[in-house]
Amino acid sequence: QTCALPIYLAKDLAASATLRGKLIADTDVSSLNFNIDVVNGTIYLSGIAANAAEMNRVVAHAQEVRFTRRVVNYIMLSTDKRY
């Protein structure tokens, strides 16, 4: 008996792995500072960015990932007083 993943779950896992790889490969992004959750094609980003440029790079990478329907950005800047 085989246990096949539902196709949406497989796509979410692929999107998450792809994005993590893009962040690791980008020398202008500190990938360990970001969390990635993918649910039904929606990528949820959270974490702390050093500046707006780093946050924008992470969001741009997420928008380029195959099977992505939407990107929700919860990233905070390190200069944010709430941090």
pTM reported for the whole predicted model: 0.89
Sequence-ordered list of residues with C-beta below 8 angstroms from that of 43, at least 6 positions apart, any chain: 15, 16, 19, 36, 37, 62, 65, 68, 70, 71, 72
Residue 82 has a pLDDT of 72
Residue 78 has a pLDDT of 93
Residues 16 and 10: their CA atoms lie apart, in Å, by 10
**β-pairing, 34-39 with 42-49?**
antiparallel
What is the three-class DSSP state of 83? coil
Residue 5 has a pLDDT of 66
Average pLDDT per block of 10 residues along the chain, 83 residues long? 72 96 97 97 97 98 95 95 68
Helix, strand, coil shares of the chain, percent, nearest 5, are 40, 25, 30
Residue 83 has a pLDDT of 56
Residue 80 has a pLDDT of 84
